[in-house]
Chain A
Amino acid sequence: MPAVSKGDGMRGLAVFISDIRNCKSKEAEIKRINKELANIRSKFKGDKALDGYSKKKYVCKLLFIFLLGHDIDFGHMEAVNLLSSNKYTEKQIGYLFISVLVNSNSDLISLINNAIKNDLSSRNPTFMNLALHCIANVGSREMAEAFAAEVPRILVAGDTMDSVKQSAALCLLRLNRTSPDLVLMGEWTARVVHLLNDQHLGVVTAATSLITTLAQKSPEDFKTSVSLAVARLSRIVSSASTDLQDYTYYFVAAPWLSVKLLRLLQCYPPPEDGAIRGRLTECLETILNKAQEPPKSKKVQHSNAKNAVLFEAISLIIHHDSEPTLLVRACNQLGQFLQHRETNLRYLALESMCTLASSEFSHEAVKTHIETVINALKSERDVSVRQRAVDLLYAMCDRSNAKQIVAEMLSYLETADYSIREEIVLKVAILAEKYAVDYTWYVDTILNLIRFAGDYVSDEVWYRVIQIVINRDEVQGYAAKTVFEALQAPACHENLVKVGGYILGEFGNLIAGDSRSSPLIQFDLLHSKFHLCSVPTRALLLSAYIKFINLFPEVKGTIQEVLRSDSQLRNADVELQQRAVEYLRLSSIASTDILATVLEEMPPFPERESSILAKLKRKKGPGNLHPDLDENRKERSANGGTADHSSTTSNAKSSPLSFVGDLLAPASTAPPTNRPRPVSSSYLLQAPLTPIPLQASAVPVLLSAGPLFQVAASPTPSTDLLGLGSTITTQNSAPPASKGTSLLVDVFSENIAAFPVETPVAVGPVADENFSRFVCKNNGVLYENQLLQIGLKSEFRQNLGRMYVFFGNKTSTQFMNFAASVVCQDTLQAQLNVHAKPADPTVDGGAQLQQILNIECMSDFVDAPVLNIQFRYGGTLQNVAVKLPITLNKFFQPTEMTSQDFFQRWKQLGAPQQEVQKIFKAKHSMDTEVTKAKIMGFGAALLDGVDPNPSNFVGAGVIHTKTTQVGCLLRLEPNTQAQMYRLTLRTSRDTVSQRLCDLLSEQF
């Protein structure tokens, strides 16, 4: 930048700023600013021309006022005038004002663009730089549109100065980030790669950033950059620290460039060419060697720069994952950092080691640091570092060290930070399950977990324990014993009561032989906790009691007494009351045989991915967990777990008439709805989520329970069988997306995550009565019932379309959980892209909600997408499905042509499969004007005077899809006497002809 001469000092500005700084109060400041603004306004009034200096001064003042937080709504024109000045300072202030203040929709944008264009084409490097900086700073779409072609040209032009090249590279990077679609690859791309060879290191640094971003977008185009980058890197690494002069930072040669080059290399797999590969390995080794050298300076910047390069090199090594020696060396290097006194280094070391642990080469090497990591877990002061230590422990865990790691994590859990407790609990649960050699250890671990951190044990964890205990015969007795002992503690967590209730209810008989745990003692123990528990737990305990009646007939009297007590039979909670009543009747009426059948032991659960793992993944998001690692381990654990399958088969005989549905019902967090609910479409929607066996098993029980109710005259209003049935089924298959119930679904389904995506959502009848009305028009009311009105407004251009869907709430109550989604069935998915922008989940009474659908036609299609709407209206879930009127003809582009052209084309499309003809009877009156309007609405251009018979209609147009364009010609011949039409369509594609013919013939 040229030095500021004395004349450019702008005294007025300095005075103004010091005035503002001296203001004692906000009010005084505002007054001063108002005064200044009035002064500037009077100066800008346009009576007399201002010279460049004062213009610059006032623009500067405006800028300062804007930066103080006040609105500026004038002065833009003056700033734009400054752009055309020849003085650097004036031009600079102009650009500054524009990059800060001009918004993209300003009318001045064309003027600004013009000024920038002038500067770009000037040969003055400082002006070019200013212009490029402005483009990059504003980075708006308009700027990108105007200069996306110009900037690359400057970047690769041979005669461009280095500093301009640097700016151009960064400017292009910015444009690529803001509007990547406008930065088109071209012949310049190859030449950009060669910038890596540039003499000027600044240019190389800027270019590397650009290339890295571009390479992520299209790796193929920039493949050649790998060898250049390696060459450049090796030159930097091997250079003496003094070689690079300006680019040596505290004795480290060009650290930023090195880091960027290493990042660039991470976009690609290890180079195939042996020579390059060798050279890269050499570089990486040198970097690792350098880390071992004694520091050349005690300054923190030196070590920071060195370590930055080192960490980037290590992540490249991890990324390549191909050189065992390098991996082990990296691991050792990180091991040193684990004990470094810098907290940041320890953090980074732990984090990188996490990724190293997933590599098969370095896994063993990582394991050697286990003591250090455990030590870090205990002594580290920063919680985020401890979190990383937990992650690393989790990642390095395998069968050999599982017991140690789990024990350490458990002991840490007692003192752990609240913020990471839940995650540790999940991790312990997963590790305990995955590497369990004997399941007694597993049961002990989980019970300890509940004891230490009961509040953080999510439902998934204790569900999983139960699944495993039920599926493994050998631990059932042990589990019952341990649980029994654990429950004897005076205060135990509710989750423990849940597990205890369930396990004793199932396997209490296994320990009943011992006089210290006789049935009555077991029952008393459970019941002593009953009053301290929440309603869902109580419900579970009631189920356990009825199971006791089956297991131990001798305690039947006691339990019946409990069930009969007013606190159960007349409990205010409907769920508990219903259970008490049902169980009481069941126990008193049903014979032992029936009881034994109904209350049969639970069948084993199907094997599947642990729901806890799914939860952990959900919690951490993808990327943090290493799926490949998990896969790896899973195989190993699968080998160890072959015994499981035998147990599964041995239990397969269990009767289908078990009490599955109800025993698991407490897991449902949905409030038990008392209202008999019609089997609505919402029920249909959820049905696929719960597998059929549940329904099958639940219904017979209810059938047998049904008559009992008539006698018992239960206080519940839902005595009729249908109402009761629906109550229970809806409970079990409660709200679709609620987090709490997802596990319930998980217990039965194979893979929960897959469900919402893969299962075609079954919906009620799809409404399409208004569908055909939209073939020839774009706006109108699509659907209407007593609650909801759906209106449409749409516009199409070539193969793209936008549809505004208006959901009107016709009632006075709010719609809750409103969700509308568009489903493209089967083949349509590939042919049509419909993207729905998310809309508000609530629609107020009488209000309208707008949702925007963006449509892209990929290729020609026949079906129409379906709009699924779901909402809650006064407690009931409403489901509406409507066929969206997106038809092929919407992507018509009319074409005008002369008679001669038309017939020439008509003849060209003469192949028999290209023509479709239909003769049909008119449904409406044969009005010429109406017919004309319909053809035009259909999308084709109506061609006058083409057909020799004036009463015939002829149209032409092109159907735009993303892949192809299909030319269409149509001819409609009305016969007024017979009230018939003959419609002929010729297009270049047979499917298109057929579809268009079908669509159009419906209209007359």
Chain B
Amino acid sequence: MIGGLFIYNHKGEVLISRVYRDDIGRNAVDAFRVNVIHARQQVRSPVTNIARTSFFHVKRSNIWLAAVTKQNVNAAMVFEFLYKMCDVMTAYFGKISEENIKNNFVLIYELLDEILDFGYPQNSETGALKTFITQTGIKSQSKEEQSQITSQVTGQIGWRREGIKYRRNELFLDVLESVNLLMSPQGQVLSAHVSGRVVMKSYLSGMPECKFGMNDKIVIDKQGKGGATEEAAGKRSGHQSIAIDDCTFHQCVRLSKFDAERSISFIPPDGECELMRYRTTKDIILPFRVIPLVREVGRTKLEVKVVIKSNFKPSLLAQKIEVRIPTPLNTSGVQVICMKGKAKYKASENAIVWKIKRMAGMKESQISAEIELLPTNDKKKWARPPISMNFEVPFAPSGLKVRYLKVFEPKLNYSDHDVIKWVRYIGRSGIYETRC
């Protein structure tokens, strides 16, 4: 269980310090600062063990969040909690920055009291928290309201309060994916996976019961067993099923039902929530192909040519494309020519950065650069780090499709048809690299 939680600024000064258990002494605060923040070598591991005490940290811009424990806790749980806490703070006061933390530090202590109890994570649903931790002064609440909050927080559905009403029942569903790739110079895929999230924003009245369906292979196959015709129909209409390697759900999803019938049913919290997270490794659509060509001309010159090809429907447009071509450490000058977009040598990052605003599918573009090198007395050869790429595409590279999202509200009289639903797919690049 988490013994304490500290927040530091970039200099290692403590902004927030909350100790939950006696086994964490005051010196733990300094231990982390000395051994991690001010460490001589940059500490890359998110978990550090110092004197039998474990420190789990995440960094948000210049702010360090560290959870401390002496026990053998589930590290994934701790990180999940830390991320959740970041979300909660962002929801309350926007960007996590030193300034914001200093301005809201009473609020943060209040939040910490609520979301962690004796080191055990409690309700961290922003919507629920906002009902009783407010930023707008002290609101005198009537007895009734108070008891309502108590029953809700301690009740079965802690993430949603009763009696929500909307004039328009609306539902937004975002499928956000990030593609990770490592490709050899010859175009062979060395490793690729997609990690995705389904984010739901709901404005629904009452306590609606939702059911979510997607083209998960297991579900489709199961239904296919029921009626072979349907499977054939699915194939005909181009609905490919995908194999999901693993997935996790928001606490509102009934896991027993998922285990039994593979159906995802839930009562959503009001507002935004991350409904599920998943990972796929098979049959990934790679939106871009990078073809590098590096030629060393003598000791003082290097010629680089990079071609990128977009590999999706011509009707779709990729955005925010950025290709990062690393340059040797002894680069003394660069000349770049590119057909599309803008390219620039960024000395501070030791890379040529090529940016393209928009690019349609099934197109290709190319950049060529001449890199002048300064002869060095170092015999070390340049390690040739991979070319990396960033982009955003309007489809899901894993092939995931939302098949349905049904809403039932038995008490209030609106039906599934009355709900306005929006679905959006966004595919982003994760670590998308091609060796050169």
- Using a CB–CB cutoff of 8 Å, the interface residues on chain A facing chain B are 24-26, 31-32, 34-35, 37-39, 41-42, 44-45, 73-74, 76, 106-108
Contacts and interface: CB of A to CB of B under 8 A. Distances in A.
Given A41-B331, A41-B332, A106-B377, 7 more contacts: A32-B348, A35-B347, A38-B350, A42-B333, A45-B374, A73-B376, A108-B377
A687 B372 CA distance: 72
Contacts of A38: 331-332, 347-348, 350
B348 A73 contact: no
B261 interface: no
B330 A107 contact: no
Interface in B328-342: 329-333
Nearest to B98: A24
B151 interface: no
Contact of A34 (B349, B375, B380): B349
B332 A42 contact: yes
Contacts of A44: 332, 374
A45 B333 contact: yes
Given A38-B347, A45-B333, A25 B377 contact: no
Contacts of B377: 73-74, 76, 106-108
11 contacts: A25-B10, A25-B62, A31-B348, A34-B348, A35-B347, A35-B348, A73-B376, A73-B378, A74-B376, A74-B377, A76-B377
Contacts of B330: 41, 73-74
A37 B349 CA distance: 11
B180 to A, nearest CB: 22
B63 to A, nearest CB: 11
A31 B349 contact: yes
Contact of B374 (A24, A74, A108): A74
B42 interface: yes
A747 B378 CA distance: 61
Nearest to A77: B377
Contact of A39 (B347, B350, B380): B347
A418 to B, nearest CB: 20
B376 A24 contact: no
B182 to A, nearest CB: 23
A440 to B, nearest CB: 50
Contacts of B348: 31-32, 34-35, 38
Nearest to B350: A34
B372 A26 contact: no
A371 to B, nearest CB: 42
A953 B277 CA distance: 89
A107 B376 CA distance: 12
B11 to A, nearest CB: 9
A76 B375 CA distance: 11
B372 A45 contact: yes
B208 to A, nearest CB: 46
A743 B227 CA distance: 87
B10 A45 contact: no
Contacts of A74: 330, 374-377
B359 to A, nearest CB: 28
Interface in B18-71: 42, 62
A41 B374 contact: yes
A15 to B, nearest CB: 16
Contacts of A39: 347
A605 B190 CA distance: 75
Nearest to B378: A73
A850 B111 CA distance: 64
A26 B12 CA distance: 13
Contacts of A32: 348
B15 to A, nearest CB: 15
Nearest to A76: B377
A581 B10 CA distance: 73
B42 A26 contact: yes
A79 to B, nearest CB: 12
B179 to A, nearest CB: 25
B381 to A, nearest CB: 12
B38 to A, nearest CB: 10
Interface string B341-357: 00000011110000000
Nearest to B41: A69
B332 A45 contact: yes
B318 to A, nearest CB: 28
Give the top 8 A-B pairs by smallest Cβ distance, nearest first. A38-B347, A73-B378, A31-B348, A35-B348, A41-B332, A73-B376, A45-B332, A35-B347
A66 to B, nearest CB: 13
A76 B376 CA distance: 9
Nearest to A32: B348
The CB with the most chain A CB atoms within 10 A, among B62, B331, B377, is that of B377
A320 B342 CA distance: 83
Contacts of B375: 74
Contacts of A41: 330-332, 374
A37 B333 contact: no
A665 B348 CA distance: 72
The CB with the most chain B CB atoms within 10 A, among A37, A39, A44, is that of A37
A278 to B, nearest CB: 58
A830 to B, nearest CB: 45
A107 B329 CA distance: 21
A108 B377 CA distance: 10
Contacts of B347: 34-35, 37-39
Nearest to B42: A26
Interface in B67-113: none
A73 B372 CA distance: 16
A296 B348 CA distance: 60
Contacts of B333: 42, 45
A517 B422 CA distance: 99
Nearest to A106: B377
Contacts of A108: 377
Nearest to B40: A69
Contacts of B378: 73
B388 to A, nearest CB: 16
B376 to A, nearest CB: 4
Nearest to B379: A73
A24 B10 contact: yes
Contacts of B372: 45
Nearest to B61: A25
B138 to A, nearest CB: 37
Contacts of A107: 377
A41 B329 CA distance: 10
A470 B377 CA distance: 74
A74 B332 CA distance: 11
Interface in B135-156: none
Contact of A24 (B42, B62, B331): B62
Interface string B102-135: 0000000000000000000000000000000000
